[in-house]
Structure 1
Amino acid sequence: MEKSILEAATTLIEKGGFSRLTTTGIMQKAEIEPVQFYRRYKDLDAFIDEYVKKFDYWFSGVVKVPVSGENNQTYYEDILCNLFNSLWDNKIMQELLRWEIATDNETSRRTAQLREFHTLPLCQRFADLFSDSDTDIVAVSALLVGGIYYMILHHRVSAFSGMDLSREQDRERLLKAIKHLSGLLFQDCVQPSVIKIAVAMKKDAVPLEKISGYTGIPIQILEKI
């Protein structure tokens, strides 16, 4: 019974979003009697609150702990690219974000705040990395993440700046742009002392992959110094 209710709600949300979801629609789609629904949920708000809890930790699944030896730029790129790909594939999460933007209640605030809670340690990690740089990496990252959200949520309405995300080649262009911007950002956070160490290691013929792993400097930057 619980499974049929959840499956019915998912189908309706994918079709019309959270704003058009009704208890009557859920019961009709699940082919159950009202008593079977209200035995489990007080009302529609109570159902939605339970339903969206499965997405409370969505962002924590996107932000994975980097594998040993992975440099910071690669980790940063992976987070943003994973965010884009994960959100693009998750239609329910898209509808949840649309609903949060349009709805101000306890449930929408909780899901948004928990996502922010998972973001804070990541912000601090990169803020520390860029502490000696003029780049405000937290502000820049907020713009990038917000842009990813908007472009995906907007794609059904029209193209944006000529990019139509329904086309695979435009999605690939966006991912390529994310990686390019990451490279530009991380060029600004490499400390002079670390560069000197990298140069010395290059002179000793240490492989670039190892230098990158030890110093955190991306290989594409090492190739130029």
Structure 2
Amino acid sequence: MSKNTTNRTKKVRPKKESRKTHSGPIRDKSRTKSRLVEAVGEVIKKKGYSALSGPNIAKEAGLHKKLIWTYYGGVDNLVEEFLQQKDFWMVAEKEVAKELQESSKNISQNEIYCLLESQFKSLLSDELLRKIIHWELESENKTLRKISDQREAFGEQLFKIIEPDFQNCNMDVRANLALQIGGIYYLALHAKSNGSTFCGIDVNKKAGEDRILNALKSILNFTYNDAKAKK
């Protein structure tokens, strides 16, 4: 080796380990459960509620059907979880409960209107939500009945807060809201099922939708003003 040749020690830098995101059992479980819940909705949309079987749901999710029993104990429990996540009032309950915890536990007239408005718009825009309502009307089902009972329990919580505003007056706020909510359901289902008008109003169009929302607001104004006048 010549004198001019210098031995150089090369510094070998350690390779940076690539940061791999390992899904892990917890994340995998969460993902799998979400896929199964979403698959329930897809089966309802494509084939109807009568097709809600383990094999159909598993095929739609691209998973083995045994996972339905592993994570949910059966199809009924999985469908119930889907309904819990999809039902308007079940979702609203979580939001309202959170707001009530952060507020003075009072529900204003405007907050009631916002709930009714949101329900109406959700029913008009969400085909799957309408299919669930159709399903409730067409068949007796213990899971649907359970969800309905939970809705009623949520409603009772709201009425306990709302009804004190209507003491000592003749206004039946429960019946009043029952008619408004029932009307919202029917108008949305009617409009999207056959596309026709109701009382000459087309709620498939923005102008018709606005007319119904304005009517809801007017009814609530009358309801609350009547209560205030008789106190």
TM over 0.5: yes
Shift of the alpha carbon at 1:36? 4.6
Amino acid at match of 1:8: A
Moved over 6 A (4+): none
Q: Which of 108, 121, 125 is 1:85 aligned to? A: 121
Shift of the alpha carbon at 1:38? 4.8
Structure 1 stretch 146-155 or stretch 25-34: which is displaced more?
A: 25-34
Shift of the alpha carbon at 1:138? 1.1
TM-score, L = length of structure 2: 0.68
Tell me, in whole angstroms, the C-alpha distance in 2 between the residues paired with 1:161 and 1:192.
33
Q: Which of 15, 36, 42 is 1:5 aligned to? A: 36
**CA contact under 8 A between 1:62 and 1:79: conserved in structure 2?**
no
**CA contact under 8 A between 2:202 and 2:208: conserved in structure 1?**
yes
Tell me, in whole angstroms, the C-alpha distance in 1 between the residues paired with 2:138 and 2:95.
24
Amino acid at match of 1:58: V
> Deviations for 1:85-120, whole angstroms, at most 9, x for unmatched residues?
344344433332222222323211110011111111
Verify: 1:60 aligned to 2:60, yes or no: no
Please provide the CA RMSD for this pair: 3.0
Gaps of 5+ in 2: 1-31
Tell me, in whole angstroms, the C-alpha distance in 2 between the residues paired with 1:117 and 1:38.
29
TM-score, L = length of structure 1: 0.70
Q: Give the corresponding residue for 2:6.
A: none
Structure with the larger RCO, 1 or 2 (CA within 8 Å, 6+ apart)? 1
Q: How many positions carry a matched residue from both structures?
A: 192
Tell me, in whole angstroms, the C-alpha distance in 2 between the residues paired with 1:181 and 1:76.
12
Amino acid at match of 1:164: D
Amino acid at match of 1:185: T
Q: Which of 110, 114, 122 is 2:150 aligned to? A: 114
Tell me, in whole angstroms, the C-alpha distance in 2 between the residues paired with 1:164 and 1:5.
37
Q: Give the corresponding residue for 1:151.
A: 187
SS at match of 1:134: coil
User: Structure 2 vs 1, CA of residues 86 and 67 (structure 1 numbering), >3 Å: closer, same or farther?
Assistant: farther
Shift of the alpha carbon at 1:55? 4.2
Q: Give the corresponding residue for 1:133.
A: 169
Q: Which of 170, 179, 183 is 2:221 aligned to? A: 183
> Deviations for 1:120-176, whole angstroms, at most 9, x for unmatched residues?
122233322122222211111111111111222232223322333322221121111
Tell me, in whole angstroms, the C-alpha distance in 2 between the residues paired with 1:46 and 1:174.
37
Amino acid at match of 2:39: A
User: Structure 2 vs 1, CA of residues 144 and 123 (structure 1 numbering), >3 Å: closer, same or farther?
Assistant: same
User: Structure 2 vs 1, CA of residues 60 and 72 (structure 1 numbering), >3 Å: closer, same or farther?
Assistant: same
Tell me, in whole angstroms, the C-alpha distance in 1 between the residues paired with 2:110 and 2:73.
47
How do 1:62-77 and structure 2 match up within 5 A? 63=96, 65=100, 72-77=108-113
Tell me, in whole angstroms, the C-alpha distance in 1 between the residues paired with 2:112 and 2:80.
32
**CA contact under 8 A between 2:36 and 2:58: conserved in structure 1?**
yes
Tell me, in whole angstroms, the C-alpha distance in 2 between the residues paired with 1:167 and 1:139.
28
Tell me, in whole angstroms, the C-alpha distance in 2 between the residues paired with 1:42 and 1:121.
30
Q: Give the corresponding residue for 1:97.
A: 133
Tell me, in whole angstroms, the C-alpha distance in 1 between the residues paired with 2:172 and 2:34.
46
Between structure 1 and structure 2, the one with the greater Rg is 2
